[in-house]
Amino acid sequence: MKKLMFIALFAIALYSATLEAQEKYIQCPVSHVTVFRHGAQLTGEAVFTLQPGTYDYIAGSLSPYIDPNSIQVRGEGDFMITGVTHRNNYLENPSESAEVKELREKIDALQLRIEDEEMAMEVLLEKERFLKANYDVVTEKSTITPEQLRSLIDLYGSNMESVKGAIHKKLRILREYREEKEKLEKQLAGTVDRSKMPTGEIVVSISGSKPATGKLDISYVVMNAGWQPAYDIRVDDISDPAVIIYKANVWQNSGIEWKDVKISLSNAAPMTAGSLPLLNPWFIDFYPPVMMRGLQGKAAGVNVSSKRESEPMALEEVVMVADASAPMPVTVSESNISFSFDVNIPKTIATGGKPETVELQRLTVPATYSYATTPKITPAAYLVGYVTGWDQYNLLPGESNIYFSNTFTGKGYINTAELTDTLTVSLGADNSITVKRDRRKDFTSQKLIGTNRVETLSFLISVRNNKSREVTLKLRDQLPLPQNSDITVEAVELSGGNRNIASGEVTWDLTIAPRETKEIIFTYSVRYPKNRKVILE
């Protein structure tokens, strides 16, 4: 019986050793990354030599955040792929990153400084104890003369003051060193925690009947990555076209470094369902006004819903040459449902979530310019650019930095989601145009007419063009909109302004010659019951 048990255990051990020998690790570094607005697809290539039999080839040191449903493996060679699985390796001991090593070196250097300062501090404390002991011994002697005591006190005071000052400085230095070391240790703890994360592994089972050289193309999706569009809008002069510098802020926290990889930035959403959602029948009925026992929250009823799994998105790419003014080799790949920017120069993007800026295109676009002002809110004239044909540039909604005449004028937002043919861009305030909105006191009044109070408000709006050329400007103000039938608003004088009845907005389109000032009189009255109160300003 013992012999049979030994044979069985030996066979199991031999079989396990055989299985262990059948696993082979292969290197599959990331060579191409397609970054979506939310998520990224990582692609790598592994070349291996196959012997007859069935083996598990393990592509290791991958991201620990792999979406198992997104794994795709394609093989080239005389073999058959019989299975693909995913796992995380919690036993692999990754080598320390350069960041960790640098932090450890800084902490060790600070520790040496702290030890040197502590030793110097011990010397000063010993000197302080020596001075105090000698002072006590001498002052206790009865034979000491007053002159000797005075000299001793002066000597002791000067030396003790010097020692105390040196001790104070050392304490301050030690405190600074210890605080800095504590900060570095906290940073190291967080970095080491990240470096000790498990690594992802993709196991590809391969079967072959003869020796062969093969290649595996492995791709997978991680969700903790993405990119955001950003823009620099530059205008040198209102007689020139606008220059739009299209950029992408790429970030990733996949747990591995993307080192010298080709990057494509796509507007596709691979995690969105690829099929049209079903519209189920919507049943309604009279709501029974009956109190039901035990019913909490919603009334009893039937909820019909449908849930379908997401389908992978097929991307049929057609390569197109990018704008000739692109600052680096970037091509635009388009399909019927998405587009992507392919950056052909390899980039390195570290994990950790810090954005890396990639410039995609530098576009010179036709634009017209005019000024606009709303002096009721702010007495400034803003230069506004109107870009046409923007839809051909594959722009996406994003923040913009605005520069006019090589001066940063502020931040804006390009909202390409609006269904308009013209993209409006604010280029900031122009101090060469002066705007004022003053109350005309002689024409502002309150009167009681019967049971009503009538308030009349009048303003003089002046716009001066201090430039050497003619400008066009849209002036905006507003009339109040009553929400009660007892309140009546009347436009007394608009100086030719266009009134929008629905919004109450009044606009004036002005053409102002160089060094010219134009004045607008804006007067309106409000009638309401005298026993009620209306706040007009």
- What would the pLDDT profile of 212-247 be if each residue is shown by its tens digit? 889 999 999 998 899 999 999 888 888 888 898 999
- Six token digits for residue 463: 């716009």
Q: What is the pLDDT of residues 241-274, one digit of tens each?
A: 889 899 999 999 888 899 999 999 998 877 654 5
In this prediction, residue 4 has a pLDDT band, given cuts at 50, 70 and 90, of very low
d(CA 458, CA 440): 5
Chain-centroid distance of CA 463 in Å reads 40
Question: In the prediction, which pLDDT does 165 show?
Answer: 82
| pLDDT, the chain, mean | 80
What is the structure's pLDDT at 98?
Answer: 67
pLDDT tens digits for range 114-171: 888 888 888 888 877 777 776 666 666 656 667 766 766 666 677 777 878 888 888 8
Q: In the prediction, which pLDDT does 386 show?
A: 86
Question: Is residue 324 over pLDDT 80?
Answer: no
pLDDT given at position 302: 30
Token duo for residue 417: 């989601």
Query: Which pLDDT tens digit goes with each residue over 171-213?
Result: 888 888 888 888 887 777 666 555 567 889 999 999 988 898 8
Residue 472: pLDDT above 90? yes
| Confidence label for 33 from pLDDT (cuts 50, 70 and 90) | very high
Q: What is the pLDDT of residue 436?
A: 96
Decide the pairing of beta strands 225-235 and 398-404: parallel
In this predicted structure, what is the pLDDT of residue 326? 42
pLDDT value, residue 242: 87
| Pairs from 279-282 (Cβ < 8 Å, separation ≥ 24) | 280/304, 280/305, 280/306
Structure tokens at 505: 């907005």
As a whole number, mean pLDDT of residues 434-462 equals 93
Which pLDDT tens digit goes with each residue over 404-416? 888 888 887 887 7
Q: Which letter does DSSP use for residue 253 in this model?
A: -
Q: pTM for the whole thing?
A: 0.61
Which two three-digit tokens encode residue 330? 């970037």
CA distance 44 to 63: 12
**Per-residue confidence (pLDDT) for residue 164, from 0 to 100:** 80
Cα–Cα distance between 161 and 131 in angstroms, integer? 11
